[in-house]
Structure 1
Amino acid sequence: MMQEKNIRFVVFKPQMLEDFQKQKIKTYFPENSMVIPELDCYLDAINVIYTIDGLENPMYVKSNAASDFPRAMMKQAKIVCFIRSGMEIFKTSFAGIPIELHHNSAGYKLSKTWQDEHGGIMSLRSNIDSKEHRIFIEWVPPMDWRTRDKGHPDKTEKDLIDKISGTPGVLSHNLFGEKKCHFIENGDNFKMTYRGPAKGFNGTVFV
């Protein structure tokens, strides 16, 4: 169970709402997209956004809906976590780590080989933007990304940051750009594994 009286959740799936409420966790579910007009299509059913503040609106995330790579999406949130749950990842519409690739041979090769090499699921977020000389992709790491390399210590978020940032062809990436952003793995029924990222929650204790 998760214990933090000031934490607020915004969820985008009815089952998430039900599961969190069973644990008596404050949860907000926008039944009508007009309730929070700041939301856009990049926040979908597999995302959970946490904010720790006293605002009446539990989340205030501004984003430019016309942008293919909206960095502003997470800037107003206090804490941002992306949670992958069960088979939900196999939907055609998913949200992962937005990555910009150079529109050159290195970037194009990476868009074809990254998933084979690192696992997970990758999708072309938008068409190649020849004017901007970049390719937009979206990658969801595999469930075993922390232990994928056998014989090596468990990977951390910093390891993943360094791997993405240091790969030829990568122009930028968005999810781990700030300490408040975390990718979280969880099993069935939201038996969450928060031991790694818990330190990023300003003292929030997960038990």
Structure 2
Amino acid sequence: MTVSKMINKVRGSDVWPVLAPLVVGAAYAWWRYHRFSFENSLILIVVVAVVKWALDLITQNHRYDQSLITLSWIADVILPYLLLVAQLVVNTNFALSLGFLLTWFGVAWPLILLSVAVRLAKNVRVVRAEEISDPTGAIKASSRWIRPLFLTLPFLAYGEILLYTLSGYMPVLSWAMIVLFPLVLAQALAVGLESDLDRLADLPARNLFLTAGAMVLVLVISSS
């Protein structure tokens, strides 16, 4: 495997909905509160990785279980927030309060939306496959909301980043992340409109990787 293919595989991995909030949480703790515990962060990452591996095994063995599918959707929505909160707690040792939880929810919001996009992309691709294979253009009723919702998520994610930058909960340097938005949006559009479905399967995960990586970079640079 070439270096380029390895990098693409890493960027498109489905581990980012779990790993991204852990890394961003650690960086945010260092920037905003000037606290960071390498040992606590490492233990949390290892525990979460083991749990994810176990859940993936269960899901693969019961992939048609509707209750597991529903649980997986719920996890995609709340897990990034819970992981970011956990990372901040183990690094800062703060007692949880409503103020902290609301502030941290705003930090996690872009990651939540882009994690949902990773999941929703599978449904978008199903709709695209139906459109391609059906000459009459008949598609499921769900396609009326799946694609618009999917394409709205990048706007909501980056809008929140800009809002938090204006309010002071993210460093001023976060404004620079706007340069990533055209790429993130273009990749989202590609999933919704392109016919080469297999080639584009990992683009939503790449969007999450790029956004989380940029957030970490901004937070680390602003901490120095």
Structure-2-length-normalised TM-score: 0.26
Q: More strand per residue: 1 or 2? A: 1
Q: More helix per residue: 1 or 2? A: 2
Name which structure has the greater RCO, CA cutoff 8 Å, separation 6+.
2
Mark the structure with the bigger radius of gyration: 2
Structure-1-length-normalised TM-score: 0.27
